[in-house]
Structure 1
Protein backbone atom coordinates (compact mmCIF):
# COMPACT_ATOMS: atom_id res chain seq x y z
CA UNK A 1 0.00 0.00 0.00
CA UNK A 2 1.37 3.41 -1.01
CA UNK A 3 1.30 6.13 1.64
CA UNK A 4 0.43 9.66 0.52
CA UNK A 5 1.03 12.45 3.01
CA UNK A 6 -0.66 15.83 3.02
CA UNK A 7 -0.58 19.17 4.82
CA UNK A 8 -3.76 20.83 6.04
CA UNK A 9 -4.35 24.47 6.89
CA UNK A 10 -4.68 25.14 10.62
CA UNK A 11 -6.92 28.20 10.16
CA UNK A 12 -10.48 27.73 11.47
CA UNK A 13 -13.00 26.66 8.79
CA UNK A 14 -10.33 26.47 6.05
CA UNK A 15 -10.40 23.21 4.10
CA UNK A 16 -7.15 23.79 2.14
CA UNK A 17 -5.02 20.74 1.53
CA UNK A 18 -1.59 20.23 -0.03
CA UNK A 19 -1.15 16.65 -1.21
CA UNK A 20 2.31 15.17 -1.71
CA UNK A 21 3.31 12.63 -4.32
CA UNK A 22 3.00 8.92 -3.50
CA UNK A 23 6.02 7.72 -1.51
CA UNK A 24 7.45 11.24 -1.14
CA UNK A 25 9.35 11.92 2.08
CA UNK A 26 7.82 14.52 4.45
CA UNK A 27 10.63 17.04 3.93
CA UNK A 28 10.00 17.12 0.16
CA UNK A 29 6.27 17.54 0.74
CA UNK A 30 6.98 20.50 3.03
CA UNK A 31 9.35 22.07 0.47
CA UNK A 32 6.77 21.61 -2.30
CA UNK A 33 4.12 23.28 -0.15
CA UNK A 34 6.44 26.20 0.57
CA UNK A 35 7.09 26.70 -3.14
CA UNK A 36 3.39 27.26 -3.82
CA UNK A 37 2.94 29.65 -0.89
CA UNK A 38 2.20 27.58 2.20
CA UNK A 39 3.50 28.86 5.54
CA UNK A 40 4.97 25.64 6.93
CA UNK A 41 8.21 26.94 8.45
CA UNK A 42 7.60 25.22 11.78
CA UNK A 43 7.19 21.46 11.65
CA UNK A 44 4.76 21.47 14.58
CA UNK A 45 2.60 24.24 13.06
CA UNK A 46 0.62 26.26 12.77
CA UNK A 47 0.46 25.70 9.02
CA UNK A 48 -1.33 28.20 6.79
CA UNK A 49 -2.38 27.75 3.17
CA UNK A 50 -1.42 30.34 0.54
CA UNK A 51 -4.83 32.02 0.73
CA UNK A 52 -4.89 32.37 4.52
CA UNK A 53 -1.20 33.33 4.57
CA UNK A 54 -1.52 36.08 1.91
CA UNK A 55 -4.97 37.56 2.36
CA UNK A 56 -6.64 35.89 5.31
CA UNK A 57 -9.37 34.27 3.22
CA UNK A 58 -10.11 30.65 4.12
CA UNK A 59 -10.64 28.06 1.38
CA UNK A 60 -14.33 27.19 1.65
CA UNK A 61 -14.99 25.19 -1.54
CA UNK A 62 -13.00 22.21 -2.76
CA UNK A 63 -11.76 22.08 -6.33
CA UNK A 64 -8.84 21.27 -8.59
CA UNK A 65 -6.13 23.72 -7.43
CA UNK A 66 -2.88 21.79 -6.88
CA UNK A 67 -1.67 24.39 -4.37
CA UNK A 68 -4.63 24.38 -1.96
CA UNK A 69 -7.35 22.15 -3.48
CA UNK A 70 -9.61 25.20 -3.75
CA UNK A 71 -12.14 25.88 -6.50
CA UNK A 72 -10.78 27.15 -9.81
CA UNK A 73 -12.27 29.47 -12.43
CA UNK A 74 -11.72 29.02 -16.17
CA UNK A 75 -9.82 31.84 -17.82
CA UNK A 76 -8.85 32.43 -21.43
CA UNK A 77 -5.40 30.89 -20.94
CA UNK A 78 -6.00 28.26 -18.27
CA UNK A 79 -7.59 28.24 -14.84
CA UNK A 80 -6.96 30.21 -11.66
CA UNK A 81 -7.77 29.33 -8.07
CA UNK A 82 -10.42 31.59 -6.58
CA UNK A 83 -8.67 31.49 -3.23
CA UNK A 84 -4.88 31.40 -3.54
CA UNK A 85 -4.65 32.68 -7.12
CA UNK A 86 -2.51 29.78 -8.37
CA UNK A 87 -2.73 29.64 -12.18
CA UNK A 88 -2.99 26.35 -14.04
CA UNK A 89 -2.00 26.48 -17.71
CA UNK A 90 -4.43 25.02 -20.23
CA UNK A 91 -4.07 21.37 -21.16
CA UNK A 92 -2.25 20.74 -24.48
CA UNK A 93 -5.44 19.66 -26.29
CA UNK A 94 -7.10 22.92 -25.21
CA UNK A 95 -4.24 24.88 -26.80
CA UNK A 96 -4.92 23.21 -30.15
CA UNK A 97 -8.48 24.58 -30.15
CA UNK A 98 -7.37 28.21 -29.93
CA UNK A 99 -7.50 30.47 -32.97
CA UNK A 100 -3.95 31.77 -33.62
CA UNK A 101 -5.39 35.08 -34.85
CA UNK A 102 -7.38 35.55 -31.63
CA UNK A 103 -4.71 37.68 -29.87
Structure 2
Protein backbone atom coordinates (compact mmCIF):
# COMPACT_ATOMS: atom_id res chain seq x y z
CA UNK A 1 0.00 0.00 0.00
CA UNK A 2 1.27 3.45 -0.87
CA UNK A 3 0.82 5.96 1.95
CA UNK A 4 1.19 9.72 1.93
CA UNK A 5 3.82 11.33 4.15
CA UNK A 6 4.53 14.80 5.53
CA UNK A 7 7.92 16.08 6.67
CA UNK A 8 8.80 19.04 8.88
CA UNK A 9 10.18 22.09 7.10
CA UNK A 10 12.40 23.25 9.98
CA UNK A 11 16.12 22.95 9.28
CA UNK A 12 17.70 19.71 10.55
CA UNK A 13 14.36 18.26 11.68
CA UNK A 14 13.78 14.62 10.74
CA UNK A 15 10.12 14.54 11.87
CA UNK A 16 7.84 12.48 9.69
CA UNK A 17 4.12 11.77 9.62
CA UNK A 18 3.00 8.67 7.74
CA UNK A 19 -0.64 8.22 6.82
CA UNK A 20 -1.83 5.31 8.99
CA UNK A 21 -3.07 2.11 7.33
CA UNK A 22 -6.04 1.85 9.70
CA UNK A 23 -7.60 5.24 8.87
CA UNK A 24 -9.07 4.82 5.38
CA UNK A 25 -11.20 7.65 4.11
CA UNK A 26 -9.78 10.36 6.38
CA UNK A 27 -8.11 13.33 4.74
CA UNK A 28 -4.35 13.62 5.32
CA UNK A 29 -4.70 17.31 6.28
CA UNK A 30 -7.20 16.37 8.98
CA UNK A 31 -4.96 13.58 10.28
CA UNK A 32 -1.86 15.76 10.58
CA UNK A 33 -3.86 18.48 12.33
CA UNK A 34 -5.11 15.89 14.86
CA UNK A 35 -1.50 14.79 15.40
CA UNK A 36 -0.42 18.36 16.22
CA UNK A 37 1.17 19.38 12.91
CA UNK A 38 0.72 22.96 11.68
CA UNK A 39 0.21 23.65 7.99
CA UNK A 40 1.24 27.14 6.98
CA UNK A 41 1.20 29.09 3.75
CA UNK A 42 4.53 30.17 2.34
CA UNK A 43 5.62 32.06 -0.73
CA UNK A 44 7.77 30.37 -3.28
CA UNK A 45 9.52 32.73 -5.67
CA UNK A 46 10.92 31.34 -8.90
CA UNK A 47 12.77 33.41 -11.45
CA UNK A 48 10.52 34.33 -14.36
CA UNK A 49 7.33 33.22 -12.59
CA UNK A 50 4.81 34.87 -10.34
CA UNK A 51 4.84 34.11 -6.63
CA UNK A 52 3.05 30.86 -5.92
CA UNK A 53 1.44 29.90 -2.67
CA UNK A 54 2.61 26.55 -1.30
CA UNK A 55 1.98 24.77 1.97
CA UNK A 56 4.70 24.11 4.50
CA UNK A 57 4.44 21.93 7.59
CA UNK A 58 5.82 22.20 11.10
CA UNK A 59 5.87 19.13 13.35
CA UNK A 60 4.39 19.16 16.86
CA UNK A 61 7.86 19.19 18.46
CA UNK A 62 9.04 22.25 16.52
CA UNK A 63 5.68 23.98 17.02
CA UNK A 64 6.10 23.60 20.80
CA UNK A 65 9.78 24.67 20.53
CA UNK A 66 11.01 21.20 21.61
CA UNK A 67 12.46 20.26 18.23
CA UNK A 68 14.08 19.56 15.91
CA UNK A 69 13.53 15.80 15.92
CA UNK A 70 16.98 14.26 15.68
CA UNK A 71 16.32 10.56 16.31
CA UNK A 72 13.57 8.60 14.59
CA UNK A 73 11.51 6.08 16.49
CA UNK A 74 7.94 4.92 16.96
CA UNK A 75 6.01 8.09 17.88
CA UNK A 76 2.81 8.12 15.80
CA UNK A 77 2.75 11.95 15.71
CA UNK A 78 6.31 12.79 14.62
CA UNK A 79 8.21 9.47 14.39
CA UNK A 80 10.56 10.69 17.10
CA UNK A 81 12.18 8.35 19.61
CA UNK A 82 9.96 7.34 22.51
CA UNK A 83 10.72 5.84 25.92
CA UNK A 84 8.50 3.32 27.68
CA UNK A 85 6.94 4.29 31.00
CA UNK A 86 4.16 2.71 33.02
CA UNK A 87 1.39 4.70 31.32
CA UNK A 88 2.70 4.29 27.77
CA UNK A 89 5.42 5.30 25.34
CA UNK A 90 6.42 8.98 25.73
CA UNK A 91 7.94 10.77 22.74
CA UNK A 92 11.11 12.64 23.73
CA UNK A 93 10.33 15.41 21.26
CA UNK A 94 6.61 16.15 20.90
CA UNK A 95 5.67 14.45 24.20
CA UNK A 96 2.88 12.41 22.66
CA UNK A 97 1.92 9.53 24.95
CA UNK A 98 0.92 6.29 23.25
CA UNK A 99 -0.79 3.96 25.74
CA UNK A 100 0.47 0.40 25.91
CA UNK A 101 -1.74 -2.22 24.30
CA UNK A 102 -3.46 -4.80 26.51
CA UNK A 103 -0.91 -7.42 25.48
CA UNK A 104 2.04 -5.23 26.57
CA UNK A 105 1.09 -4.87 30.25
TM-score w.r.t. length of structure 1 = 0.79
Name the one with the larger strand percent.
2
Unaligned runs of at least 5 residues, structure 1: 96-103
Residues 1-103 of structure 1 correspond to what in structure 2 (within 5 A)?
Answer: 2-22=1-21, 28-42=27-41, 44-95=54-105
Whole-Å Cα distance in 2 between the matches of residues 59 and 24 of structure 1? 27
Per-residue deviation, residues 47-84 of structure 1 (Å, max 9, x unmatched)? 10000011152000000001000000111111110000
The question of whether the paired residues in 2 share the 8 Å contact of 1:10 and 1:48 is answered with: yes
Residues in 2 aligned to 1:31 and 1:55: alpha-carbon distance in whole angstroms: 22
2:24, 2:65 → 1: CA distance?
Answer: 29
1: CA distance, partners of 2:4 / 2:104:
31
Structure (1 or 2) with the greater helix fraction = 1
- Paired residues in the alignment total 93
Poorly superposed stretches of 4+, deviation over 6 Å: none
- TM-score (norm. length: structure 2): 0.78
Q: How large is the RMSD of aligned CA atoms in angstroms?
A: 2.1
Contact 1:4/1:24, CA 8 A, preserved across alignment: no
Query: Which gives a bigger RCO, structure 1 or 2 (Cα 8 Å, sep 6+)?
Result: 2
Gaps (5+ residues) in structure 2?
42-52
